Structure 1
Amino acid sequence: MKKMILICVTGLMIQGFGSLYAQSEITFQVDITHLLDGSEFDENRDRVELIGNRSPLSAIQPQQMKPDENNPNLFKVSVTFPGSLSGNTLEYQFRVMLNNRYRNEDIPRSTRIPSGNQTLDSIYFNSYAW
């Protein structure tokens, strides 16, 4: 009987620790087509970044986004969040450095951190549909 209880308790502990260390990944996508306004985006000089209020996102350590191979105006980045943040609200913004000047979106965006992986729909930089 003691062995059965020990096995059950051990199994529950392992399951609990597994969910504690679970991670989720969110893929963010932003289209900067209208932002360019005829300007030429130089990948060596200019960049698109993602900032937010939950680690690993911050304004101090932004996540650099990379252009999509099929659409150079669409930028993507996948960010991994710890399972302990699952269900929490994430506020985030896209920002662009174009011609050595930062330009942040006017209004922060928000999403809930999922318990699994998620790819957000692509959106236009600084464009909102209510």
Structure 2
Amino acid sequence: MPRMLTSKVGDIDKLVHWMDHVRKASKKFLIVCQHKKDRDFMRSLKCKNVLYVMEPMVDFVDLVVWTEKPVILLFDGDRNSNSKFMKLKSFLQQRGVKVNTGFRKIIFTMPCRSFSGLLKYLHQLAGSERVHSGLPV
């Protein structure tokens, strides 16, 4: 039987470290999510300055430019989200806003492809109540 390539403990540590890193970065950056559920998930992590994309996109970009903060874009990993992500990123960069996409990389390393599903995935990995009590969420 072949060895497992990834361990569950490593995934838990990776997610907890990512959540802590996003929480600290939210003090300096404006976090832009795709959906209300994603925004609520980020607020449950005690992140500040969290918005979700509203239509029309041009008015939303004006709102973000007005805040004069660099932006972290957190969009899901499916094809439709990628197209919206690239469109918003190009609009923001054309207006002179610094865009950070590094926090999005974790979505491509996990089996769930949405940010709202990360919390459920973390609790699924943790399994027992004893491990749940040690999680920061």
Fold-level similarity (TM above 0.5):
no
Higher relative contact order (CA 8 A, sep 6+): 1
Larger radius of gyration: 1
Taking structure 2 as the reference length, the TM-score comes to 0.20
Q: Comparing both structures, which one devotes a greater share of its residues to helix? A: 2
Q: Comparing both structures, which one devotes a greater share of its residues to strand? A: 1
Taking structure 1 as the reference length, the TM-score comes to 0.20
